[in-house]
Chain A
């Protein structure tokens, strides 16, 4: 990141500096420097046990860092409860109370009204089950109730740890659509997940945490592109296209999906396209190669 595109201080919702958490001799989160901008949908990626949840717990003030510093909405973590919503790991509910009563109690704590409770019940599709004891809810319903609780006071910052856990495919789609609907404006959403496709579909920027360390932070596109300079093209006929590249002394390979991966940067695109046209090769599509998030993730976590 250059100085010119670095956000202003007011535009930073979360910043951490060498944030570290140790449990005994084990360092679970190791010197993480994180920056989440106001209004973005930020993804925290990493396998189970990588330190994502511990990071979120520190950012919400549930646990204290062993060393380092964190600022959330300009204050220390946990200091702005009315501006922050969170679902950390499994949603927490009082099983003997109805879903509505669970929400009402939390709403009272954060100063939200009963209208907000009804609105969230409606939004999360829980109205018909609202008067049943929450202890009898399915995992998916509990997850929705947890999200409703996190949203009941209209927070500026929302932390969601594995929001799709326990949901069926249609539930996952609903949550994804909800997040897209909630994002934008001044509301910042941090989603932690080990599901790469989930993050890929909804997030603007991501951080990848591996074995407690931050191994990548930036735009999702940047992660897809990676450091290597490659082009990806759909060409016809294939034989003529590969001959053109051989003549230009450019290495290439099949991507396994009917496209050709060309070992050249985007600055050589005009030259290559001209050569294809001269050789009567039809160029259906050509551009910078986008790695799948899975490939990108494997690369950043193995380096």
Chain B
């Protein structure tokens, strides 16, 4: 198992896609979390009552300061960074089929289940890099704004930071594992990335708009990974409400449980399929 983990680690850390994901997460954190809100306008008592782009939109300056780093940074995870992790997961497994290297894994690996377990473990650990990149970029941006505005640069409480990073990691892990499972099922990454992005950005968001009109849809929505990721992010502060994908449909406990369940389902499905299916690549 350790040799398989080392091989999968070597493959992933040398893969540009991992580092591009981290760069993209950092860039999104800076641009959408700080630069655009700051340029659009801040006010002492303004609240994000209108949507970005609408006249009169402004955000309270305090939400852009280091003390509210966690609330600000986590708001991008239920949608944008979840999608990023899904793409990374799909690339990690799907490319093995595209490059036909899945044959090498099956031929010389210590076993199909072991190899997939190693790949899942390494991927789940590696997405921490993406979470840290987003938080670090957010921290740097908020510190710059604090200096410019001559405001307090006090960091958020350590406990909250750890809890925020943990939540971000869990959200990314779910996305990565579902992407990995999709890559195994589809034996490619392209189709999974396309379908996954449509699902996250269209299907789940649309479904949530009908939650108040149908109990059936509400029950369905409350079981979906995006909804629970959104509720987990939403649990940090009211200021995160209104960000794309963030919601308050379920409690924090349920959100964590459902996200863990989705991770387990993703790993189980991928392992079952990989262990049994013929390798034609």
What is A's interface to B at a CB cutoff of 8 Å? 57, 60-64, 78, 81-82, 84, 86, 88-90, 92-97, 101, 104-106, 108-111, 149, 153
Contacts and interface: CB of A to CB of B under 8 A. Distances in A.
B107 A60 contact: yes
Interface string B1-26: 00110110011001110000000000
Q: Which 3 A-B pairs have the closest CB atoms?
A: A63-B278, A92-B100, A62-B279
Contacts of B10: 101, 104-105, 108
B213 interface: no
A108 B3 CA distance: 6
B161 to A, nearest CB: 34
A26 to B, nearest CB: 14
Nearest to A97: B14
Contacts of B280: 57, 62-63
Interface of B: 3-4, 6-7, 10-11, 14-16, 99-110, 278-281
B100 A62 contact: no
Given A92-B101, A93-B101, 16 more contacts: A60-B107, A61-B106, A62-B107, A63-B279, A78-B106, A82-B108, A84-B107, A86-B103, A89-B100, A92-B104, A105-B10, A109-B3, A109-B4, A109-B105, A109-B109, A110-B108
B121 to A, nearest CB: 16
Contacts of B15: 96
A244 B279 CA distance: 63
Contact of B103 (A64, A88, A104, A153): A88
9 contacts: A81-B107, A81-B110, A96-B14, A105-B7, A105-B10, A108-B7, A109-B3, A109-B104, A111-B3
A97 B107 CA distance: 19
Contacts of A94: 11, 99, 101
Contacts of B11: 94, 97, 105
B7 A109 contact: yes
Listed residue (B7, B16, B278) with the most chain A CB atoms within 10 angstroms of its CB = B278
A208 B210 CA distance: 64
A108 B4 CA distance: 8
Contact of A106 (B14, B16, B108): B108
Contacts of B281: 92
A63 B11 CA distance: 25
Contacts of A89: 100
Given A94-B99, A97-B14, A101-B14, A61 B7 contact: no
Nearest to A111: B3
Listed residue (A104, A105, A111) with the most chain B CB atoms within 10 angstroms of its CB = A105
A96 B280 CA distance: 22
B109 to A, nearest CB: 6
Contacts of B6: 108
B108 A109 contact: yes
Contacts of B108: 81-82, 106, 109-110, 153
A257 B101 CA distance: 48
Contacts of A106: 104, 108
A81 B115 CA distance: 13
A62 B104 contact: no
Listed residue (B10, B16, B101, B109) with the most chain A CB atoms within 10 angstroms of its CB = B101
A53 to B, nearest CB: 10
Nearest to B17: A96
A62 B99 contact: no
Contacts of A95: 99
A90 B102 CA distance: 13
A111 B101 CA distance: 18
